[in-house]
Amino acid sequence: MAGQLHTQLLLSRQYCRVFSVISSHIHTSSGLGAKDHYKVLVLGGGSGGITMAARMKRKVGAQNVAVVEPSEVHYYQPIWTLVGAGAKSVASSGRPTASVIPSGVMWVKSKVAEFDPKNNTVHTDSGKKISYDYLIVALGLELHYEKTGQRNTEQKANYMWNIKGLPEGFEHPKIGSNYSVKTVEKTWNALKNFKEGNALFTFPNTPVKCGGAPQKIMYLSDAFLRKTGKRSKANIIYNTPSPKLFGVKKYADALWEIVKKRDLNINLRHNLIEVRADKQEAVFENLDKPGETKVYKYDMIHVTPPMGPPAVLKGSLLDDEAGWLDVNKNTLQHKTYANVFGIGDCTNLPTSKTAAAVAAQSAVLDRNISRILKKQTPDKIYDGYTSCPLVTSYNTVILAEFDYDGQPLETFPVDQSKESRVMYHMKADFMPLLYWHGLLKGFWGGPGPYRTIMHLGMK
């Protein structure tokens, strides 16, 4: 299925076909322009990598920038919440990677295999060694539906929990996940074919990207079942290992009101450990009573997988004890290697991992790398800004925005903890345009300047 989808995306528009062919000869590592050294080397072709490549192109020239990325398709992943609810198509979320690589920037179509920061070099899985003056690591994170590991009793890297029965469980109906292009349409299939019984939604016992997404699909499913007259036959359950529904109290309080109003069942400190897809059963452990488990029958389940740092980072000279890129939380500069920088999900920044965070981080990195290029000290500070548009129905959103301290950092001069139709259309219609034409072009660095204006200079 994934291969067919990639083909459809690559062939969807004639200009993309032509662009891809031209780029594959001129701006990829197999072309004549490939080099072994770049002033700025960007690892990762996701949102953070592409926006920084665009910004660095303007700083040092396209011929001095390269992006290492193996994927043929670039996805706007935030829209997958709506894809899983049948409100958007999966094809609308992807474009050929060749079409988003900044023109003139070299695309090294490989995976990163090894870091050698002491010698300012990176090795790829194709055997190529690339040296750099400055390195930007934007490798994202990895999904681990099948991940095994130990309980994190020592607060080190072995925090992954095994979900027995996955990923093979996705071969059965009634199960999906909005976190992968391979499984997001399975969510919609499970929802629209729901008849009666338990509709289960899970959250993993690991860091995640877009921490609100696991419950967004719950609210959307509730709305869909009401619209189709099936809600009275559904028992909607959200099981999370967290002791909170949401990390920021202002928005958590608003979400609890929605939960009560819509008769949704929330079980805190419950962690998914097994899916028996052939029997339509899911097993959860009560984290407050280790060893105590409960089996839930389901007619639909949405699984949010455990997640972790890229395997290539773990054990390298660039990671922290948990395997994430070890950067200064204020400047985004590596704590040991001054010419290495990080952005996005692969970093150990203590904030929610979102595209909105990447946007704000890109503006900080742009300024600080510019100063370093001029032999000056970085002076722009990242405050941890991140945002989560909490989709609560097919036409409402609570727009959560907050900083490192979990304090609301709202852009608009209204109470954003209230459900809003305007915010929904911003999430569904405006943000994708801003992503493709603003963020990826290196022109959108978050709403900070606009927030200052709207709040008359006050935070």
Q: Is 16 a catalytic residue?
A: no
**What does the alpha-carbon distance between residue 178 and residue 210 come to, in Å, rounded to a whole number?**
11
Q: Is 223 helix (H, G, I), strand (E, B) or coil?
A: helix
User: Which residues sit opposite 137 in a β-bridge?
Assistant: 43, 342
Residue 239 C-alpha from the chain's centroid: 21
Catalytic residue among 40, 175, 200, 210: 210
**What does the alpha-carbon distance between residue 370 and residue 86 come to, in Å, rounded to a whole number?**
43
**What does the alpha-carbon distance between residue 67 and residue 44 come to, in Å, rounded to a whole number?**
7
Amino acid at 359: A
**Structure token digits, residue 457:** 């200079």
Cα-atom radius of gyration of the chain, to the nearest Å?
22
Q: Is 199 helix (H, G, I), strand (E, B) or coil?
A: strand
**What does the alpha-carbon distance between residue 265 and residue 262 come to, in Å, rounded to a whole number?**
9
Catalytic residue among 217, 364, 388, 431: 388
Residue-by-residue DSSP string for 51-111: HHHHHHHHHH-GGGEEEE---SEEE-GGGHHHHHTTSS-GGGGEEEHHHHSPTTSEEE-S-
CA atoms within 13 A on the CB side of 432: 18
Residues labelled as active-site residues: 210, 388
